[in-house]
Structure 1
C-alpha cells in the first residue's frame, strides 16, 4: 500500500464504522510499513496494528489502553502535545506533522504523522485514526548528504586557499627565511618574528577550513 493510499484511508477511516468495522480492522492490521492505531475520544489507544508493533516496539497487549502521549519523547510536554494533536484533528479534520516520536526501548524516530477524527452516523467523533510512517532513515540520509556537501565545499575551499593564500604566505615565509640569514641581528629578529606570525596565520587558516 502506498503512502498516499494509507493517508487517504486515515482521512476516510470510520465513515463506515459498524458493519465494516471488522473488515477495516483486518485491513489496517495487514499493513506493516505504517503504524496505524485507533484512539478513543480521549486519546487512549484501542487498536494497534502490526506495523505499529514493528515501528514502536510495543506489542498490542503492552500498549492498548495507554494514552497517545506515551509515543512523545519529552516527558514534561508530551501530554500537552498529544492533546494539541487531538484538538487540531477534531477542529480542522486533520493533524499532520513530521517530528520526533518515542519507541519502547527509549530510542527516538523521526516520523510523519497524520491523525484524523473518526465519524459515526451522527457526524460526531468517537475517536481518531493515527497513521505514522518512520522517516528516520530518510532523515539520516539527508543529514549525511548535507554533511558530505559541506565537506566537499571545505575540500574545494582548502584546495583554492592552498593554491592561493596559504601557498603565497608559505612562499613569503621562505623568502623571509632566506633574507634573515643575510641581514644583521637586529633586523633579523624582526624578520624571524614576521616568519613566526605568517606560520601562525597558515595554521589558523588550515584549522578554520577543516573545523568550521
Structure 2
C-alpha cells in the first residue's frame, strides 16, 4: 500500500475521530452556525450548559441564548459582524438557558471561510463561568467586609487614643503637678516618697503617650504605606529605641488604604516584639510586590528565641499578626533559630483597583 493511499484511508478516520472528540466534550459548548446565525450542529457540552437537546435547537437562531435586552440592542448580529470583520470575537456576559435562567458565559465566535474565501458559517465555543464568577464575587464580598473591619478597628483605635490623650493623660499630668506642689509644702520626711510617686506618675504618662502613638501613629492614613513605615522606623526604631535599621521597598503600585494599614500594623507589632525580646542591635524591613500581592519581611539580628516567652500578651501579639494577615486573604510565618535572629514574613493580596461598573442582574435571574 502506497503512502498516498494510506493517507487517504487515514483522513476519514481522523475526521471521524475529531467529530467524536468535539461531540463528547462536556465542559465546553461547541457548535456551528450558518452564515446567518442559525445553529447547524450541537455537542454534548452545549446540551449540558444550555439545556437544549440537539433536536430542540438545531435550526434556530443563536440569538435565543441572549437575554432580551441584548436581543433588543442587536448584540447577537453585532457579534457575528465583528467576527467576520476581525476573524474572531471573544466576549463574557449573561446567556440564557432553555429554562430561562441566566448564566455567566465566556464565548468565542470564529468566522469560517472556505478555500474560495466564501463565508461558510461560524464556530462557536461557550464555557459556563458561573462558578468562577461566583467565586470572584465571594472574594469581592470578603474584601469588602475586610475593608469595613479595618476601618472599624482604626476608628476605634483613634477614639481610644483621643480618650486616653484628652482624659487619662491630662488627669495624670494634673496629678503630677499637684504632687510637685505638695512636695514643697510637706515635712521633709515625706518629700522623698512624694518624689517617687511623682516619678511613677510621669512614667505612667510616658507609657500612655507611647500607647496613643501605637494606637494611631500619624501619617499612615495620609501619606501611604511607604512613607508611613519610613516615618515609624525613623521616629521609633531609630530615634526612640536607638537601633540601626534598613528599609527597602519595591512596589508596583500603592496598596489600598486598608491593605496599607494592615501591613503597617503587622510590621508595627513585629518591631515591638524585636524591641522587647530580640536583644539585637539591628532590624531590616523589606516590602516588595510579589505574586499579585505584597510580601513583607522583618528580620532582626537578635537571640532568635521565641517572642512569646514572656507571657500571654506577647503570645497574643503573634496571634494578632497572623490573624490580621489571614483575614486579609494572605499568610504569615515566623522563623527563628537561637543565635541567628528572627524573621517575620507575610504576604497580602494587592489587586489593582478595578473601575466601577454598572450593576448586573443577579445570577439565575430570569
TM-score (norm 1): 0.66
- Equivalent position of 2:267 in the other structure: none
Task: Please identify the structure whose Cα radius of gyration is greater.
Answer: 2
- Equivalent position of 1:138 in the other structure: 132
Per-residue deviation, residues 34-62 of structure 1 (Å, max 9, x unmatched)? 00110011100010100000011111111
2:148 is aligned, of 126, 133, 154, to 154
Question: Are 2:20 and 1:26 aligned?
Answer: yes
Once the 2 structures are TM-superposed, how far is the Cα of residue 32 of structure 1 from its aligned partner?
0.8
Question: Are 2:108 and 1:109 aligned?
Answer: no
SS of equivalent to 2:68 = coil
Rounded Cα–Cα distance in structure 2 between residues aligned with 1:22 and 1:93: 26
Per-residue deviation, residues 68-123 of structure 1 (Å, max 9, x unmatched)? 10010125635711111111111111011111111111111111110011222212
Unaligned 5+ residue runs, structure 1?
Answer: 1-17, 173-212
The 5 A counterparts of 1:158-169 are: 158-165=152-159, 168=162
Is the 1:161–1:167 Cα contact (8 Å) retained in structure 2? Answer: no
Unaligned 5+ residue runs, structure 2?
Answer: 1-11, 167-366
CA pair 78-60 structure 1, distance change in 2 beyond 3 A: farther
Rounded Cα–Cα distance in structure 1 between residues aligned with 2:147 and 2:73: 43
Once the 2 structures are TM-superposed, how far is the Cα of residue 165 of structure 1 from its aligned partner?
2.8
The 5 A counterparts of 1:86-125 are: 86-125=80-119
Rounded Cα–Cα distance in structure 1 between residues aligned with 2:147 and 2:158: 16
SS of equivalent to 1:121 = coil
SS of equivalent to 1:42 = coil
Per-residue deviation, residues 125-144 of structure 1 (Å, max 9, x unmatched)? 11110001111111111111
Is the 1:28–1:36 Cα contact (8 Å) retained in structure 2? Answer: yes
The 5 A counterparts of 1:5-16 are: none
Question: Are 2:45 and 1:61 aligned?
Answer: no
- Equivalent position of 1:46 in the other structure: 40
TM-score (norm 2): 0.39
SS of equivalent to 1:46 = coil
RMSD between aligned residues: 2.6
Is the 1:44–1:65 Cα contact (8 Å) retained in structure 2? Answer: yes
CA pair 98-166 structure 1, distance change in 2 beyond 3 A: farther
